[in-house]
Amino acid sequence: MRGLTPLRQLIAAYHSEGTGRTYTADNVCVTTGVEEALFATVMAVAGPGDEVMLADPGFLAYPTQVQIAGAQPVYYRMPASDRFGFDRSSFDRALTDLTRLVFVTSPSNPTGRVIGRSDLEHIASRLQDSHAIVISDEIYRELYFQDKPASIAEYYPDTVIVSGLSKMMSMTGWRIGWAVGPEEIIRSITVMHQYATSCASTISQKAAVQAFTPEGRAATEQMRLELARRGEIMAQAIEQEVDLPYVLGEGAFYIMLDVSRFGASEPVALALLDDLVITSPGSAFGNESEGYLRLSFSIEPALIEEGIRRLAKGLSRLTAV
C-alpha cells in the first residue's frame, strides 16, 4: 500500500538530505501522483469546523480539496504589489485557533516565487503553539534558478512534504508522487490512499527508482539549468515584443505577465486564443493574480519567442481600459 520499500527508502533519504531530518521508509507513502498525495493528506487531517490556510494566488486544486473535506479555506495574501512575495502580516491575520492545515508552496504555482528562510522561520514560530499541520508542496523544489529553496520541514516538525517526479524528471504520465512526514500522520494518509487507489502502479514505481540514480539526478540538474535559460529567453522576448510588467520568480517555469491595462485576465486569455496562444488567466489562481496571465517557458526556445510574438500581436488588437 505505502509503496515499494526500495523506492520509499530512496525518497526518505532524498528528503532527509534536503531537510536535515531523519526519515525512513516508514515516513513515506507513495501515491498515484502528487494530486493524490495532497488529497489524501487533506482528507486525513482536515474536516468540518477546521480552517485551512492557503496562499493567494495558489494552485487551483487546493481550495476544492479543502471544501471536499468539509473544511473552510482561509487565504493569506502573496501581494501582486510586492511581486507576489510572502506577506507576514497577512499570514498572521489568517491564523486562528481553528487552523488545522497550512499550505506552503515554494516555488509557487503560479508565480514561481520562493519563500525565503527567514519567512519560513516566521511561519514555524507562529505555528509553534498551534495544533496545525503544514503541507509543504515541493513539486517544483528541484527547479530553481539560484539557491535551492529551503523546506519548511527544516523548521517545523509537523510538516507533510508532498512531491513527485512529474516536474523534476518530466515523468508526468507515470503518476508517481509521495507524502513524507511524521509516521503517525503518514499512517492516516495511507488509509486514505488505500481506499482511494490501493497502490501506485508497480511498473511506475520501479521506473521511479531510476530518478534517484546518479544519471537521474544529473538529468534533473541539466533540465534545471536549461529552464533557467529559457526563463531568461522569455523575459527578454517580453521586454522586446510586449513591454508590459512581469514577474519572473526564483523557480518553477512560469512568468506572470501583467495585462491589467486590458481588463480582466480571463477575457484577455480567451482573446489570445485567436492567435493560437494558450495562457492561464490569473483569476484561476486567486484574487491577487487577477489582471495577470501565467505563461510557461517549459517549451523550446524557438516556440517561446514565437509565442511571445503572437501574444504581442493579439494584445495589439485589444483596447486598454
pTM over 0.85: yes
Q: What is the pLDDT of residues 245-259, one digit of tens each?
A: 999 999 999 999 999
Same domain, 29 and 49: yes
Q: Is the peptide bond before 214 cis (omega within 30 degrees of 0)?
A: no
What is the residue whose three cell numbers read 493569506? 76
Structural domain count of the chain: 2
> Residue 290 has what pLDDT?
98
pLDDT at 229 over 90: yes
309: CATH? 3.90.1150.10
Among 183, 212, 241, the domain-final residue is 212
Same domain, 120 and 170: yes
> Residue 1 has what pLDDT?
83
Mean pLDDT value of segment 45-68: 97
Same domain, 157 and 204: yes
Residue 196 included in any domain: yes
Residue 228 included in any domain: yes
Residue 321 included in any domain: no
> Residue 19 has what pLDDT?
86
> Residue 321 has what pLDDT?
82
Decide: 73 and 63 in contact? Cβ < 8 Å: yes
94: CATH? 3.40.640.10
Distance, CA of 180 to CA of 37 (rounded, Å): 9
Decide: 123 and 104 in contact? Cβ < 8 Å: yes
User: Which domain, by its residues, includes 298?
Assistant: 216-316
Same domain, 220 and 208: no
252 closest CA partner among 171, 173, 147, 167: 167
Q: What is the pLDDT of residues 214-224, one digit of tens each?
A: 999 999 999 99
pLDDT at 287 over 90: yes
Distance, CA of 176 to CA of 164 (rounded, Å): 6
pLDDT at 67 over 90: yes
Residue 261 included in any domain: yes
Same domain, 232 and 309: yes
Same domain, 227 and 204: no
Residue 229 included in any domain: yes
Decide: 1 and 194 in contact? Cβ < 8 Å: yes
Instruction: Please state, in angstroms and as integers, the Cα–Cα distance from residue 126 to each residue in 97, 132, 156, following that order.
Output: 12, 10, 10
Same domain, 306 and 157: no
Q: What are phi and psi of 144, to 5 degrees?
A: -125, 165
Q: Which residues, listed in sequence order, are joined to residue 76 by a DSSP beta bridge?
A: 55
Residue 280 included in any domain: yes
> Residue 68 has what pLDDT?
97
Q: What is the pLDDT of residues 129-171, one digit of tens each?
A: 899 999 999 999 999 999 999 999 999 999 999 999 999 999 8
Same domain, 64 and 146: yes
Decide: 268 and 242 in contact? Cβ < 8 Å: no
